[in-house]
Amino acid sequence: MPEELVRPAWSQQFAPEAIKELMANGPLASLTPEWAWGGSTGKGIKVAVVDSGVEYDHPALEKSVRSGVKVEYDERAENNYRIKPDDKPSDMSGHGTACAGIIHSIAPEAEIYSVRVLGRNMSGRAIQFAAGLDWAIENDMQVVNLSLSTSLEEYYGLFHDLADQAYFKNIVLVSAVNNIPEPSYPSLYSSVISVAAHEGHDPFTYYYNPTPPVEFGAPGIDVKVAWNKKQYLTCTGNSFAAPHIAGIVSLIRAKHPNLTPFQIKTVLLACASNTRRQKK
C-alpha cells in the first residue's frame, strides 16, 4: 500500500513544470489543429452525455439538446434497470448540464443526447451507468462523454466489454479519470480517451501525457460552467476536463468522418499543445 499512497495523482502530470515536450515526425508532422478541426462546428455529430441528465432548456445549450433517456434502477426489472424516454430532459444535480455546456461551447452544432444514469438510489448506480453506456453504443452515438466512473471491481469486465464494443462500432468514449489513486472504470482502459485537468483556460490547449494510463490533460480548473435550474457555477475537477476533449473530438469527427477512434487519438496526439512538429 505505501507505493499506492505516494503515487502521484493524475493531474500532476499536467502541472506546467511536469509537461514533457513531444515530437511529431514524418507524416504526423503535417497534422495541424487547423487541418484537424479548423472551421468545424461539430455539425451533425451525435454526442451522448452519460451523467446526471442535461437541462434541455438551459440558455447556455442553445437548443442543442435533441432528446435523451433516463436509466432507472428497478430491482424487479431484467438486469435491475429500465430505460425510459426523456424527450425534455432535466438534470438532478447540474453536473451533466455543465459537461453538455462545455461540449456545446466548443462544438456548437453537435447534437447532444442526455443519458441520465443517476437517481435517488445508490445501490444501482454502477448497473445504471453501464446500461446508459450500452444505450449510447446501441443508438449510434459518435462521441460519448463519461465524466463519471466506477471503482467496483466486479464491473471491470462489463465496462471493458462495453469499451471494446464502442471501439469496434467506431464510437469514441471520452472519460474523466478519477483524481484519487484508485482504479476507476472505464477511464483506465486503453481504447478510451482518458482526461485529467490542467490549469489553463484556453479550451483548445490540451496536452498529451506520454506516460499513461491518463493520456490527455484539458482545462478543468475554475471553469465557468452551466448548472441546473438555469444557473452558472465555477467548478474544478477532471469531470470538466473530459468534455473539452469530447468537444474537440466532435469537431474532428464532423470534419473527418472516416477517422476511426485510434486515428482520432493519433490526431489528438499530433495536435496536442506540447507536441512539436518537426519540419522536414
Q: Does 109 bind other proteins (CB under 8 A)?
A: no
**Got the DSSP string for 96-137?**
HHHHHHHHHHHSTTPEEEEEE---S-STTHHHHHHHHHHHHH
| Cα–Cα distance for residue pair 133/42, rounded to 1 Å | 21
Q: Does 9 bind other proteins (CB under 8 A)?
A: yes
Q: Does 114 bind other proteins (CB under 8 A)?
A: no
Residue 166, helix vs strand vs coil? helix
| Cα–Cα distance for residue pair 72/125, rounded to 1 Å | 9
Longest Cα–Cα distance of the chain, Å, equals 64
Q: Does 178 bind other proteins (CB under 8 A)?
A: yes
Interface pick for other proteins out of 54, 174, 214, 221 (rule CB under 8 A): 221
Interface pick for other proteins out of 148, 172, 214, 264 (rule CB under 8 A): 148
Interface pick for other proteins out of 11, 13, 90, 105 (rule CB under 8 A): 11
Interface pick for other proteins out of 234, 260, 263, 278 (rule CB under 8 A): 234
| Cα–Cα distance for residue pair 25/187, rounded to 1 Å | 28
Q: Does 121 bind other proteins (CB under 8 A)?
A: yes
- The region of 19-27, 38-46, 233-241, 258-266 touching other proteins under the rule CB under 8 A is 233-241
Q: Which is nearer to other proteins, 115 or 221 (CB)?
A: 221
Task: Give 178's DSSP letter.
Answer: P
Q: Does 18 bind other proteins (CB under 8 A)?
A: no
| Interior/surface letters 37-65, b for 16+ CB within 10 angstroms, e for the rest | beebbbeebbbbbbbbbbbbebebbeebb
Q: Does 156 bind other proteins (CB under 8 A)?
A: yes
CA end-to-end span of the chain: 48
Q: Which is nearer to other proteins, 12 or 25 (CB)?
A: 12
Q: Does 197 bind other proteins (CB under 8 A)?
A: yes
Q: Does 93 bind other proteins (CB under 8 A)?
A: yes
* Least distance in angstroms from the C-beta of 205 to other proteins: 16
Interface pick for other proteins out of 19, 41, 92, 213 (rule CB under 8 A): 92
Question: Which residues are CB-neighbours of 145 under 8 A, at least 6 positions away?
Answer: 47, 48, 49, 50, 51, 99, 103, 174, 242, 243, 246
Sites of contact with other proteins (CB under 8 A): 5, 9, 11-12, 52, 92-95, 118-123, 125, 147-153, 156-157, 176, 178-184, 197, 199, 220-222, 227, 229, 231-239
